[in-house]
Amino acid sequence: MDVSGESLEKAKAELGDLAGAGVCMAGNAFSHVLLVKGEPEVAGASGNVPALLAGPDGVALHKALGALGYAPEDWGALSVRDVDGFPLVPGTLRLAIATLDPSTLIALDEAAAAAIREAFADELVELESFDAAMLTPGAVVRLLGMRVMALGGFEKSLSDPKAKQLMWARLKQLPPEGEPY
């Protein structure tokens, strides 16, 4: 097996382990952008199947990322709750983020920002700016090689034109990054 085949098998195993642990994910596991949500929507006939970004917030985010220049498939989503609705422990959330390895991490709501703060507390406390360390909505933070931003209530903003404009202004700070070479 060639190196790329080995890498693919490793990624499949790691993603399988996360799924086996109940981690709720959607989208492209090899994307540059990871959208983290505190509360997943519920979809499906049984009413208990989590579906991340399957509603109007997902449609709006998809359009916004496209307008910024991201490819349609260049996003992944992660819930801070497992498939049963229980909060992920900080170590599991951290492992999921490390496994998905995004260059841009976006917390869509306060619950997601709080979970990220807890999972990366040791690194955040080392930042010089209080706003950065607290992941204040709209602040772009460099953390372990990732750009990180808390949007501060994306889904709720969809019903308020001024709040939608604020979300768009925040997202415009995160255009696609060029290749590192």
Q: Where are the beta strands (DSSP E) in 20-159?
A: 23-27, 33-37, 41-43, 49-51, 76-82, 104-107, 141-143, 146-150
Contacts of 130 (CB under 8 A, 6+ apart): none
Q: Which pLDDT belongs to residue 9?
A: 87
35 touches 76 (CB < 8 A): yes
Both tokens of residue 177? 């990054």
Per-residue pLDDT at 170 exceeds 60 = yes
**Predicted confidence band of residue 52 (pLDDT cuts 50, 70, 90):** confident
Placement of tokens 């609705």 in the chain: 85
CA 56 vs. chain centroid, Å, equals 17
pTM comes to 0.90
Q: Which pLDDT belongs to residue 99?
A: 95
**What are 123-143's pLDDT values in tens digits?**
999 998 999 999 999 999 999
Contacts of 170 (CB under 8 A, 6+ apart): 137, 138, 149, 151, 152
40 touches 81 (CB < 8 A): yes
Per-residue pLDDT at 179 exceeds 80 = no
Both tokens of residue 68? 């910024």
